[in-house]
Amino acid sequence: MENRSERYEALRRQHPVFEYAGYAWREEAEGLRLEFDFRMGDIRFRPTALVERRPFLDFGLEDSLMDRLVFDIGMVELVSYWKCACPPAVQVSCGSLTEAQTAFWKKLYWNGLGEFYYTNHIHAGFDDFMGLPARRKSINPREIDLWITPKAGGYLVPIGGGKDSVVTLELLRRSGKSIRPLIMNPRGATIECARVAGFPMDEVLVIRRTIDPVLLDLNAKGYLNGHTPFSAMLAFYTRLASALSGVSNVALSNESSANESTVLGTNVNHQYSKSLEFEDDFRLFNSEFGIRNSEYNYFSFLRPLSELQIAMLFSRFTQYHGVFRSCNVGSKQDIWCGHCAKCLFAYIILSPFIEPSRLNQIFGKAMLDDITLKHEFEQLIGEAETKPFECVGTVGEVRQALAMALKRWYLGERPALVQLVKLVELDKLEQLVKLDKLEKIGNLTPEERQILQQACTEKNS
């Protein structure tokens, strides 16, 4: 087996500098085109993104505002390309960073790449994994005080195709809030979830982001690959979307369990850029270095909730049960693959609230009886060294969901996976998470918390 740590050191020697050389935007017939220019010696990456044209979008923002918005998107885009060789120095040639801005970006890169370093068995330290020097130039559009002026109230709601964004969408919509769905790189589940909610695609804010094929070619040749903080990238794209649409509130669907480490006892968290820590850092970044004097508000509507509470609420929205998808393996085919930890987690967390026969229809099989998923099951219930590197709930939530499901549906013989492992005092875990109680965390208004509280205290059918 190849020593990835040695490969890491060799690539850093071969590619000592990564340059953020430029960014650009222009209005086209299709919409607003963004372009980025990253260089690594003779290697050049030119990723692009397109904000599709819609009647509710204003592409005529001031150049200084666009400079700030697009430059920062490039700063978060670059980490996906930098990680293929992890050059020790990053040179930002198209702008400048203060010391505080540098600290924000280095923290995001370091924590957002925690899984990348862990799975590649790379030992690196925060001080030396990347040099990102703070420096100033005579012209810096980011030093101008700017703000987003909302044209309308309401909420931008990113739709990922899974249960979480459906709960956000439905609770806000049913509370009479004005909703503007946002989809990045539409696929079957995201389009169908928007449609079921009553939004045709011409009423959805769509962003299409591309990956430069040069990166894929390098990966095929043995350059490094791994997880990057996608949700942080989404955060900066939603800031642009807010400016273009005039909708100031961006309501994410990240729950309290996103704060738990994937590798227990460490800071390695697959969901770091979904955590409250990142959310708070991003809000501070905007207030101090980003779009000042703004009503722009980025927060997670579901932050006070557990995965169990979200599953309980989602179980009520039966019109989505046949169209939602959370499986990354099957995302291109828009299916539940039925063989991964994400599918198994989704099945388990919904199992207390949806009867087994219906769950089996949704997922295509009785997943708790599939003994080939023993390893994934052990990861989810805390009997393995790590949780799965997927967006899944806490060990406590999984075990509680199993306890609740067994008590409700499986009074006779237990499912095969449950029989294979020793679940100590499983029945006593049922009330660890109170389904009608909200955690006192997150950046919600009192009205938004009240919407959640009312939903959680309604009787579940």
- Are the C-beta atoms of residues 78 and 301 closer than 8 Å to each other? no
Considering the entire predicted model, what is its pTM?
Answer: 0.92
What integer is the mean pLDDT of 201-207?
97
Q: Which one has a higher pLDDT value, 146 or 389?
A: 389
Region 221-226 average pLDDT: 94
Q: Which of 91-105, 146-160, 206-220, 264-278 has the highest mean pLDDT?
A: 206-220
Mean local confidence (pLDDT), 270-293: 82
Q: What is the pLDDT of residue 137?
A: 47
Residue with tokens 């709930």: 393
Q: Which residue has the tokens 């273009």?
A: 244
Mean pLDDT of 359-385: 92
CA gap 325, 350 in Å, rounded: 13
So what's the pLDDT on residue 268? 73
The position carrying tokens 């997150």 is 442
What region, left, alpha or beta, does residue 328 occupy, with left being phi > 0 and alpha being psi -120 to 50 degrees? alpha
Contact (Cβ atoms closer than 8 angstroms) between residue 47 and residue 210: yes
Mean pLDDT of 263-272: 74
Residue 151 or 379, more confident: 379
φ/ψ of 122, rounded to 5, equals -100, 130
Q: For residues 219 and 235, give the distance between their C-alpha atoms in angstroms, rounded to a whole number.
A: 26
Under a CB-based contact definition with an 8 Å cutoff, are residues 303 and 256 in contact? Answer: yes
* SS (HEC) of the chain: CCCHHHHHHHHHHHCCEEEEEEEEEEECCCEEEEEEEEEECCEEECCEEEEECCCCCCCCCCHHHHHHHHHHHHHHHHHHHHCCCCCCEEEECCCCECHHHHHHHHHHHHHHCHHHHHHCCCCCCCCCCCECCCECCCCCHHHCCCCCCCCEEEEEEECCCCHHHHHHHHHHHHCCCCEEEEEECCCHHHHHHHHHCCCCHHHCEEEEECCCHHHHHHHHCCCCCCCCCHHHHHHHHHHHHHHHHCEEEEEECCCHHHHCCCECCCCCCCCHHHCHHHHHHHHHHHHHCCCCCCCCEEEECCCCCCHHHHHHHHHHCHHHCCCCCCCCCCCCCCCCCCCCHHHHHHHHHHCCCCCHHHHHHHHCCCHHHCHHHHHHHHHHCCCCCECCCCCCCCHHHHHHHHHHHHHHHCCCCCCHHHHHCCCCCHHHHCCCCCCCCCCCCCCCCHHHHHHHHHHHHCCCC
Distance between CA 392 and CA 254 in Å, rounded? 11
pLDDT digits over 288-303, tens only? 765 655 678 899 999 9
Instruction: Enumerate the domain spans of the chain.
Output: 4-300, 325-430
- Structure tokens that stand for 226 in this block: 């791994």
